[in-house]
Amino acid sequence: MSQITLVRHGQAQTGARDEHAYDSLSPLGHQQAAWLGEHLTDTRETIERVYCGTLIRHIETAAAMGAGQHAEIVQDARLNEMEFFTLAQLYGTQHGAALPDTREGFVTYMPRLLAAWEAGEIDTPPETFTAFQSRVADAMAEIAAGRGPALVVTSGGLIGMVLRQTMGLGTPAFAKACIAIMNTSVHRLHRLGSEMALTQFNAVPHLDHPDRQYAQTHL
């Protein structure tokens, strides 16, 4: 039975407001990833293939997890996040919608942003919604077709898109899923018949201990 384990990167630079400034782990992000790697080792997780995006935060998360001890890490740009900050800047300029500075603000902001992107109402985006959707589907199909359990280190928006495609989510639910996904959270897909099914969402067993609950972060 095929299994894919998706992991969101550790906490990045939360004060950033552009793609470049955001793209590296904070000290807490490195610790979150190290704890997850220890958890996978302690539970004797079977991993035969390892993938990550080409963003710095993906590579740093995989390294801090010690993912390379399981298999060679294959970097694939199709596993990179949507350019959220670039989209947000364009959306703000073109539609007057300011980027929220609280997680609560994202609850209403994200559905509007993603709906506008999907509808083609953001001019000159770095990537169309359809292109993002297609590259995620292509990458996941290739990974699902491979042999042996796979670990994929990526970003929250990409994991949200996988959930959308796996579960048939509409854009509002897709947006809510993206907001909910925690740093270094674990999500599992198993093959059922000819398709992949979600069997675990947003698990952080490595952060459940009372001494580590402070590290359960979304941003």
Q: Which class in CATH covers the domain with range 3-81+137-214?
A: alpha beta
Q: Which residues of the chain have pLDDT under 70?
A: 1
pLDDT of residue 1: 53
pLDDT of residue 104: 83
- Contact indicator for 125, 132 with CB cutoff of 8 Å: no
pLDDT of residue 192: 87
Name the DSSP class of 78: G
What are the residue ranges of helices labelled H in 44-155? 56-65, 84-95, 103-118, 129-145
